[in-house]
């Protein structure tokens, strides 16, 4: 519960900025390619951090210290973004925020996994995603309120530090279970990649499909920019709020559904929601149609985000939970810089419509590939 509250306040902070950030970046001179590069690098750093610090967390037998350090860096990044509109500073602060996410995520998810059993993983991760995403509803609402009261975009970054600081208070009350320290504590920055050699066949098949999905899953900033171009800043933020509201409301039911019918069926359903959003959004002209599709996109996130992590924790040994989650995060992150660059180039050279249709087609391929991924759960590697 406490970990979920920490995520709630951190997400309020981060999501105050997320729908504002792409609009602000364009305002200070960023192109689509530059945004794609920044987001690709940011997610690559976060994902590499999930791998390295997840493996280190397992080796040292510690979780809470990684969680605290990660959330602390993300809070500091909000202060830096509020200092000035100097482009290199904004760029660096965004990377620092994602580095914090990389440090904390695998250790935090491993702590969540340790609090339950295989039969209830879907509900636990679903509840966490629900509370985490509730912050993604509150954050944009606060940002929208500030914008309507004529607060400058840059000043919103400073306001975002307040909930980030509050999240740090809750971390002090989080209790962690004692873990055995591994005999091999040699720090290798790429050691977590060796997990692939020792993983089982089901894990490898699952990863291949998720990597293909990552290659076609462009950053959500392009969805926001698309709506901003069609309408205005307020509508873009409102659409993002609807996405997160549906995401938050559907996360726990989706987790419950995972425990009832299995990870695979719910992930397939999530992919269908993704394809629907990306295929029809380029043709949506009315505001209500845009809002509806962003709601469908929220259903996709509810079915895929927590579910994929729950599935991974069910096919790895408990002492290697953070390493397995870290490998997943790092592997997808290496692709995200490519995805970000390609998405930005397609946006600049062709159009957002072309980008979204390519994404829809690529994920349709993922849907077909996923049909052949076995759904049997294995605990031992």
pLDDT of residue 381: 29
Stronger pLDDT, 118 or 181, i.e. the higher one:
118
For residue 379, pLDDT beyond 50: no
Report the distance separating Cα 153 and Cα 27, nearest Å.
10
For residue 52, pLDDT beyond 90: no
Structure-token match 């592997």, residue found: 331
Burial 336-361 (b: 16+ CB within 10 A, else e): bbebbbbbbebbeeeebeebbbbbbe
Helices (H) and strands (E) in the chain — how many of each? Answer: 16, 0
Average pLDDT, whole number, for the chain? 81
Q: Name the pTM for this structure.
A: 0.72
Q: What is the phi/psi pair of residue 260, to 5°?
A: -90, -45
Report the distance separating Cα 266 and Cα 73, nearest Å.
34
Handedness of CA 313, 317, 11, 355 (dihedral sign): negative
**What pLDDT digit, counting tens, does each position of 186-218 carry?**
556 666 667 777 777 778 888 888 888 988 998
**What pLDDT digit, counting tens, does each position of 280-303 carry?**
999 998 999 999 999 999 999 999
- CA 357 remoteness from chain centre: 22
For residue 2, pLDDT beyond 50: yes
What is the share, in percent, of the chain residues with pLDDT greater than 70?
Answer: 88
For residue 27, pLDDT beyond 60: yes
Report the distance separating Cα 49 and Cα 38, nearest Å.
16
**What pLDDT digit, counting tens, does each position of 162-175 carry?**
888 888 887 777 77
CATH architecture type of domain 2-173+193-371: Up-down Bundle (1.20)
- 315: tokens are 């096919």
pLDDT band at 49 (very low <50, low <70, confident <90, very high): confident
For residue 378, pLDDT beyond 70: no
How is residue 284 annotated by DSSP? -
Q: How far is CA 378 from CA 311, 317, 354, in A?
A: 10, 9, 40
């Amino acid at each position: 519960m406490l970990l979920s509250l920490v995520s709630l306040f951190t997400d309020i902070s981060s999501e105050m900025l997320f729908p504002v950030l792409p609009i602000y970046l364009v305002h200070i001179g960023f192109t689509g390619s530059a945004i794609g590069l920044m987001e690709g690098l940011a997610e690559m750093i976060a994902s590499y951090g999930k791998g390295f610090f997840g493996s280190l967390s397992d080796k040292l037998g510690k979780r809470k210290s990684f969680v605290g350090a990660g959330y602390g860096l993300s809070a500091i990044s909000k202060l830096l973004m509020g200092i000035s509109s100097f482009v290199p500073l904004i760029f660096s602060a965004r990377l620092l925020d994602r580095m914090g996410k990389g440090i904390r995520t695998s250790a935090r998810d491993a702590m969540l996994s340790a609090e339950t059993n295989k039969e209830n993983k879907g509900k636990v991760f679903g509840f966490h995603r629900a509370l985490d995403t509730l912050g993604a509803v509150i954050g944009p609402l606060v940002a929208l309120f500030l914008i309507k009261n004529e607060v400058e975009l840059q000043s919103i970054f400073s306001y975002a530090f307040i909930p980030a600081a509050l999240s740090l208070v809750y971390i002090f009350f989080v209790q962690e279970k004692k873990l055995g320290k591994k005999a091999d504590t040699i720090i290798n920055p790429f050691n977590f990649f060796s997990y692939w050699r020792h993983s089982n066949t089901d894990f490898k098949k699952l990863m291949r499909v998720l990597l293909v999905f990552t290659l076609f899953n462009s950053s959500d900033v392009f969805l926001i920019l698309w709506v901003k171009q069609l309408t205005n800043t307020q509508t873009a933020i409102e659409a993002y709020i609807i996405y997160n509201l549906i995401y938050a409301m559907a996360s726990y039911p989706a987790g419950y559904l995972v425990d009832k019918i299995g990870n695979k069926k719910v992930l397939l359903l999530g992919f269908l929601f993704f394809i629907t959003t990306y295929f029809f959004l380029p043709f949506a002209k009315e505001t209500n149609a845009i809002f509806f599709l962003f709601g469908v996109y929220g259903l996709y996130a509810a079915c895929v985000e927590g579910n994929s992590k729950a599935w991974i924790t069910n096919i790895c040994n408990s002492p290697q939970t953070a390493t397995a989650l870290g490998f997943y995060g790092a592997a997808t992150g290496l692709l995200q810089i490519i995805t970000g660059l390609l998405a930005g180039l397609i946006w600049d050279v062709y159009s957002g419509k072309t980008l979204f249709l390519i994404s829809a087609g690529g994920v349709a391929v993922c849907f077909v590939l996923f049909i052949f991924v076995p759904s049997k759960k294995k605990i031992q590697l």
